[in-house]
């Protein structure tokens, strides 16, 4: 069964600290993996998208890694800021008969405090 599991469910860190969010998936055949940031009450916004051949991709203070062998991805946030407080959602896509299908994780809620 195609699934995406994210951990931890929630996380509280102090401003300026680093953190790493995890995403494990059992989606096949894998097409790509995306990380989204969703501020409270807003729609998700894409941070990174990684295909099978990419191991690392950065977007400012956000760095995503992908290990296609172990089917794991991580999102590392460096020098966290209060504005990083949000839900981070891992989305894995695969090619189905009807086209591209997406499996969403339930997200990790990050709270950055001062």
Partner 1 sequence: SQTIHQWPATLVQPVGSPLSLECTVEGTSNPNLYWYRQAAGRGLQLLFYSVGIGQISSEVPQNLSASRPQDRQFILSSKKLLLSDSGFYLCAWMEARASGANVLTFGAGSRLTVL
Residue numbers of the site for partner 1 (CB under 8 A)? 31-32, 34, 36, 41-46, 49, 51-52, 89, 91, 93, 98-100, 102, 104-107
Could you give the count of Cα atoms lying within 13 Å of 54 in the half-sphere of its Cβ?
Answer: 17
Nearest distance, CB of residue 62 and partner 1, angstroms: 15
Closest to partner 1 by CB, 34 or 86: 34
Cβ at position 45, least distance to partner 1 in Å: 7
- Report in angstroms how near the CB of residue 24 gets to partner 1 at its nearest: 14
**Please, what is the minimum distance in Å from the beta carbon of residue 100 to partner 1?**
6
Distance of CA 39 to the CA centre of its chain: 14
In the complex with partner 1, which residue's Cβ is closer, 14 or 29?
29
Backbone φ, ψ for residue 84 (5° rounding): -80, -10
Q: What is the rounded distance in angstroms from the CA atom of residue 62 to the CA atom of residue 92?
A: 18
The continuous run of DSSP H or E covering 45 comes out as strand 45-51
């Amino acid at each position: 069964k195609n699934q995406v599991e994210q951990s931890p469910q929630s996380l509280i860190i102090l401003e300026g600290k680093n953190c790493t969010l995890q995403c494990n998936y059992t989606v096949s055949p894998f097409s790509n993996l995306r990380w989204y940031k969703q501020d409270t009450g807003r729609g998700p916004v894409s941070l990174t998208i990684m295909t099978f051949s990419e191991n690392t991709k950065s977007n400012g203070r956000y760095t995503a890694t992908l290990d296609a062998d172990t089917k794991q991805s991580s999102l590392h946030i460096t020098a966290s800021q209060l504005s990083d407080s949000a839900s981070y959602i891992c989305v894995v896509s695969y090619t189905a008969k009807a086209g591209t299908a997406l499996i969403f994780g339930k997200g990790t809620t990050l709270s950055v405090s001062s």
